[in-house]
Amino acid sequence: MTSERPSVLQPEMPATRWGDPDHATGLPDGVRDLVGLVFPIRDTPARADVTVPASRLAEAQLAGLRAIVGDDNVVLDDAVRRQRTRGKSTPDLLRQRSGDLGDAPDVVVRPAGHDEVVAVLAYAQEQRIAVVPFGGGTAVTGGLVADPAGLAGVLSLDLGRMRGLLALDPVSSTATLEPGLRGPEAEALLAAHGMMLGHFPQSFEYATIGGFAATRSSGQSSAGYGRFDSMVVALRVATPVGEVRLGASPANASGPDLRELFLGSEGAFGVITEVTVRIRPLPEVKEYEGWRWPSFDAGADAMRALAQSDLLPTVIRLSDESETAINLADPESIGGEGDAGCLMIVGHEGTPAAVAAKKAAVTEALTALGGTAQGSGPGEAWAHGRFNAPYLRDSLLDNGVLVETLETVTYWSNRDNLYARVKAALQETLGEGAMVLCHISHVYATGCSLYFTVAAPGGADPLATWLPAKAAACEAIVAAGASITHHHAVGTDHRPYLSAEIGEVGVEVLRAVKKAVDPAGILNPGVLIP
């Protein structure tokens, strides 16, 4: 087949905010009043009067890049460089909002395809220019902040022109996608063939196929469709020393699986230029419903029971008592004061027969475990608003309220210990006025992730309020023996904690691979590898 391209492209995100500018709304007055009862409200607009530092690259270097990708695709424009400065974590947004553009790339280069990526990398290696692969720019752990020490400057390699469906194999149920396709664009291309990928992180609207692979992302339907890395069957990667093609067969015993080396490599080992994923037919039926549990423990135990009996639905997520009360609960259906309970969302997707069979079995199991069915209302409400939270974060930041999230993962036997430690670390650092909420949304037979959301008064310097809390939470995660990240990746923010998790020998393995594929150290220097 010839490459197919999306007919509708997602609009660009603003530098200081999340998402589609047309979807952004301020806080409705009633909500603002409600927030004001809990947190001091202070108008905190983003600064607009900022300029990007001058490019450090020489004119001859820019000319060399233009010779590879064409004049129009070597961009020095302030707005474009600002938009590609860092990612979309709350600290990233706070720095952008305060006018701190110290990490702005010196140039944005937009290759048309794999061959141009190879040529740009070779040139950057020769000229000693740091290269930061840029997909959707939704990184939340500092993966787009390279350290250019000893190098000529930073080149943001924007993969936005590489947005094709290159091949579709209906017999094997695979599709080969270019890295710059954003979530909705990839799904629209597959839907035209009656197929889907089924990867729906909260950043779905803007994150890209290459970014999903580079960060080992996990989506809201991970219980049914798996993590993104489990969907990948083949990869094509451009490195400064040549190309790597992996995945000649779906599974093999040809030594260690090198696909795993590049999945999660966060741009430090190469630029992923093609991703072949397994695809599945579009679901004919989607049903989401709510279940009430008397406690977080009871709900978590039920999730474990489902996971360990191969009974997982497509979507399963459980809010703790605080998150249920704040975010999801309809107080009347969940119970009044003293009986707040916890809300679980359970979603089934597939053919009518498969959904009916799975739903009956899951309903029987959850009822036997002590859950109370709440009907489709809470489930449909969740499905309707599933991508809205980042827009709300901007509105809260506008009003001086600090909002941020972090996540971790551990074995079931350590879940409660991890939950208690991280919650206490956040609460103690941020103070009693802060809200610390948690949910479980990715489960395995052996364990689960914990996803924390905090809201706190931002104060005069919200970044200074958040950073000690994040450090305390990371230390609590390490002390609990859990993983520093389940799906947000390492970036620069989690790098100091990686050796505690994989050990010094593990770090040396990463360094050795880096040296082999990137001897000049130009690929995302400072990201991932301690």
Ligand X SMILES: Cc1cc2nc3c(=O)[nH]c(=O)nc-3n(C[C@H](O)[C@H](O)[C@H](O)COP(=O)(O)OP(=O)(O)OC[C@H]3O[C@@H](n4cnc5c(N)ncnc54)[C@H](O)[C@@H]3O)c2cc1C
Q: Which residues are catalytic?
A: 451
> How much is the CA Rg of the chain, to the nearest whole Å?
23
Least CB distance to ligand X at residue 429 (A): 22
Q: Which residue from 159, 235, 425, 448 is in contact with ligand X, where contact means CB under 6 A?
A: 159
Tokens of 141: 């752990």
The answer to whether residue 143 forms part of the interface with ligand X (CB under 6 A) is yes
Q: If we measure between CA atoms, which residue out of 197, 184, 209 comes closest to residue 387?
A: 184
- CA–CA dist 403, 43 (Å, integer): 15
The verdict on 184 binding ligand X (CB under 6 A) reads: no
To which H or E segment does residue 394 belong? Answer: helix 389-398
Under the binding rule (CB under 6 A), the answer on residue 231 touching ligand X is no
Helix (H), strand (E) at residue 501:
helix 495-517
Calculate the CA 313 to chain-centre distance.
22
193 exposure class (CB count in 10 Å sphere: 0-12, 13-18, 19+):
middle
Q: Which is nearer to ligand X, 334 or 474 (CB)?
A: 474
Q: Where would I find the H helices in 70-208?
A: 78-83, 90-97, 114-127, 183-191
Residue of this chain nearest to ligand X (CB atom):
211
| Window contacting ligand X (CB under 6 A); options: 7-15, 52-60, 203-211, 469-477 | 203-211
Please report whether residue 208 would count as binding ligand X according to CB under 6 A. Answer: yes
Cβ neighbours of 461 (radius 10 Å): 11
Exposed / middle / buried, residue 391 (Cβ in 10 Å: 0-12, 13-18, 19+): middle
Of the ranges 197-205, 323-331, 334-342, 502-510, which one interacts with ligand X (CB under 6 A)? 197-205
**Residue 127 Cβ vs ligand X, minimum distance, rounded to whole Å:** 19
With the C-alpha atoms ordered 498, 502, 508, 513, is the resulting torsion angle positive or negative?
A: negative
- With CB under 6 A as the contact rule, the residue among 15, 80, 197, 207 that binds ligand X is 207
Q: Does residue 406 belong to the site contacting ligand X (CB under 6 A)?
A: no
Annotation-wise, does 314 bind a ligand? no
Question: Segment 52-111, which members bind ligand X (CB under 6 A)?
Answer: 87-88
Say how far apart CA 277 and CA 189 lie, in whole Å: 13
Q: Which is nearer to ligand X, 341 or 387 (CB)?
A: 387
| Binding residue count for ligand X, defined by CB under 6 A | 39
- What does the block give as tokens for 494? 């989690």
- For residue 184 the two structure tokens come to 């909705």
Nearer to ligand X, 35 or 527 (CB): 527
368 annotated to bind ligand:
no
Residue 67, number of CB atoms within 10 A of its CB: 12
Choose, by CB under 6 A, the member of 83, 96, 125, 217 that binds ligand X: 217
- 261 to 300, contacts with ligand X by CB under 6 A? 266-267, 271-272
Residue 13 DSSP symbol: P
Closest separation between CB of residue 362 and ligand X, Å? 23
Rounded Cα gap, residues 122 and 131, in angstroms: 11
Stretch that binds ligand X, among 4-12, 126-134, 168-176, 291-299 (CB under 6 A): 126-134
Site for ligand X in 456-495 (CB under 6 A): 487-489
Nearer to ligand X, 164 or 267 (CB): 267
Among 215, 324, 429, 465, binds ligand X (CB under 6 A): 215
We find the least distance from the C-beta atom of residue 140 to ligand X, in angstroms, to be 5
Q: Shortest distance, CB of residue 268 to ligand X, whole angstroms?
A: 8
CA–CA separation, 439 and 459 (whole Å): 26
Q: Which of 94, 120, 144, 498 binds ligand X (CB under 6 A)?
A: 144
**201 lines the binding site for ligand X (CB under 6 A):** yes
Does 326 carry a binding-site annotation?
no
Which amino acid, 414? N
Binding residue per annotation — 266?
yes
Nearest to 265 by CA among 133, 127, 93, 75: 133
The bridge status of strand 154-158 relative to strand 130-134 is parallel
Contacts with ligand X, residue ranges (CB under 6 A): 18, 87-88, 132-140, 143-144, 159, 179, 201-203, 207-208, 210-212, 214-215, 217-219, 266-267, 271-272, 390, 487-489, 524, 527
Binding residues for FAD, as ranges, are 215-218, 266-272
